[in-house]
Structure 1
Amino acid sequence: MSPLTAALDGLRPMPLAEVDARAALLSRTCRKYLVPVDLLPTLFAGAGERSGVLAIDGRRVFRYSSTYLDTPDLGTFHDHRRGRRLRFKARVRAYVDTGTRVFEVKLEGPRGVTDKVRMAYDGPADRLTPRTRVFVDDVVGAYGMDPPDRLAASAVTDYRRCTVVAFSGAERVTVDTGLVGYRGGRCVRMRPDLALLEVKTRGGLTPTERRLHEHGNRAVGFSKYGAVLAALEPGLRGHRWHRAMRTCLGTPGAIRPGEGPWA
């Protein structure tokens, strides 16, 4: 039994409708932790009294693929790298196992609060369509920013995710493993012995975070998109993600034949 499977065994399966009803948290604070996968069973031991795990058709770990769209000069990356007060990301997120996709604009504002606005989507992942062009213009404009003239695919991140949700709705914890980032003909992988936890909440420290702190884990500055792009694009500086990148990402290499998001 893998450490992740062992960690989830004591949690009640929750259908998606219940997860969304209890803790959609589309407007939230999100803190990230890089955690040894062997710690996961200890981290979630006894959590079954307060939390469940998203389950669809008996599956608890799901494949995700996110295609990020950026300006030709990677403006959204640099806004994030510099910590600009108002910034956004645009992406097409595919839920691979269920065959569904959404177009999503993620807005990051003051005090670490994140808002996500999304729409169902079945168009191309690598460019804007007239419908998503209007969506970006409306969402970004309403947020107080000038929408960019052009957006096109800049990187893809593939990973596996499970979602643990407090019955109280106070926290939603995602556990990402097997991250692979792609740009051009190159890719970079996350170390297999590490998991990326994202704790989403509207309040202060959650029970999961207190347990993480007990085991010596502290929140890190990390962006999957930012770290992957900094690792794969020559000349880019990751800055705020460098320490976490050194901890969790391997050496970039060429994409093998038949591999990658467009294989």
Structure 2
Amino acid sequence: MSAPGIVGRLDAIGLDELVGQAELLTRVDRKYVLTRAETDRVLAAVDPATRVLEIDGARGSTYGTMYFDTPDLLSYHLAAHGRRRRFKLRSRHYVDTDAAFLEMKTRGARGTTVKERIPHPADAVDTLTPEGRAYAAEAVAGLGLGAHVADELAPTLHTAYRRTTLLLPEGARATIDTELAWADAWGHRMQPDDLVIVETKSAAQASSLDRLLWRARIRPARISKFATGLAALRPDLPSHKWNRIIRTHFPRGASAALAA
């Protein structure tokens, strides 16, 4: 499903203008899991004043993300069991511009989430540089985790997808991720053909796209590209938080059929 086929009728907006109009929002993020047909039906009804991010004539960008975890999957297990202190470390590669960043997302004892990032070599997105490991060590130490955690972090799960970004008339933003693919460190691969992830980013009030989704009886879903993807590829892992999404949207046996 190509972005132009969905949003070709909308006016374009550049990156600087998009950031300028939407960056001051106190964000509430809502994620939705859809099929292609559902996505097309919902987006056909968006306000014509909606604009689509366009960079160098392209209305979509390719992302590649490598998640790092310990051999015993500490980051995954902290998320799966809903621990208040948890972290997620990833390198994100903006393929079209060949820029990359190392991003650390932490949640502390009071439930606050902090996401920070530093530049990362675009030709080394699958590895942790000494600078990157030191950056990770500082973050995990702040959570009260042992110093050995940062030393053990290794590439665990890679995701790839095509993202289209919308600016809604009320100033909220939305992203539409298609062509999703996962590959883990144990050789399993998965690329569900009919999976789309939509995320809205708005003020406390629901966005116009949220309301369109709700009218279509599509409700916010609990999904993480890292944790849900890894759980779908590794049925041996605890996954109760994401079981319904996996049963509904991830083909049974897909990871085994596509294993390297």
**1:189 matches 2:191:** yes
Cα separation, 1, equivalents of 2:112 and 2:214: 22
Q: Corresponding residue for 1:237? A: 238
Q: Do the aligned residues in 1 keep the contact of 2:22 with 2:173 (CA within 8 Å)? A: yes
Tell me which residue corresponds to 2:227: 226
Higher mean C-alpha displacement, 20-29 vs 199-208? 20-29
**Structure 2 residue aligned with 1:80:** 79
Assess if the C-alpha contact under 8 Å between 1:187 and 1:255 holds in 2: yes
Contact 2:182 2:191 in 1 (8 A): yes
Q: Would you say 1:252 and 2:255 are equivalent positions?
A: yes
Cα deviation, residue 210, structure 1: 0.9
Q: 1:70 to 1:25 in 2, by over 3 A?
A: farther
TM-score (ref. length: structure 1): 0.84
1:162 corresponds to which letter in structure 2?
A: T
Q: Give me the whole-angstrom Cα distance separating, in 2, the residues matched to 1:234 and 1:6.
A: 35
In 2, the alpha carbon distance for the partners of 1:173 and 1:105 equals 22
- Give a deviation string over 1:107-166, Cα, whole Å, max 9, x none: 346898643211221162333222112222334445x44362321101101111111123
Write the distance in 1 (CA, Å) between the matches of 2:204 and 2:215: 19
Gaps of 5+ in 2: none
Q: Aligned in 2, Cα 1:47/1:41: closer, same or farther, shift over 3 Å? A: farther
Distance 1:47 1:67 in 2: 35
- Residue 151 in 1 paired to residue 153 in 2? yes
Letter in 2 for 1:84: R
| Residue correspondences, number | 252
CA contact (8 A) 1:185 1:255 kept: no
Distance (whole Å) between structure 2 residues aligned to residue 241 and residue 256 of structure 1: 21
- Going from structure 1 to structure 2, the CA distance change for 1:187 and 1:132 (only over 3 Å counts) comes to same
Aligned to 1:260: none
Q: Secondary structure at the match of 1:134?
A: helix
Tell me what 2:42 maps to. 43
Instruction: For residue 125 of structure 2, give the secondary structure of its aligned residue in structure 1.
Output: coil
Post-superposition offset of 1:248: 1.4
- 2:4 paired with 1:5: yes
| 1:240 positional shift | 0.7
Query: Equivalent residues in 2 for 1:118-133 (5 A)?
Result: 118-122=117-121, 124-133=124-133
What residue is the counterpart of 1:208 in the other structure?
A: 209
SS of equivalent to 1:13: strand
1:164 aligned residue (163, 166, 186): 166
TM-score, scaled to structure 2: 0.85
Partner-residue secondary structure (3-state), 1:40: helix
Give RMSD over aligned pairs. Answer: 2.6
| Counterpart residue type for residue 195 of structure 2 | L
Contact 1:3 1:40 (8 Å CA) reproduced:
no
Once residues 238 and 121 of structure 1 are traced to their aligned partners in structure 2, the CA distance between those partners, rounded to angstroms, is 31
Contact 2:29 2:202 in 1 (8 A): yes
Q: Which runs of 5+ in 1 are unaligned?
A: 258-263
In structure 1, how many angstroms separate the alpha carbons of the residues matched to 2:25 and 2:41?
28
Q: Does the 8 Å CA contact 2:180/2:195 hold for their aligned counterparts?
A: no
Query: Secondary structure of 2:226's partner?
Result: helix
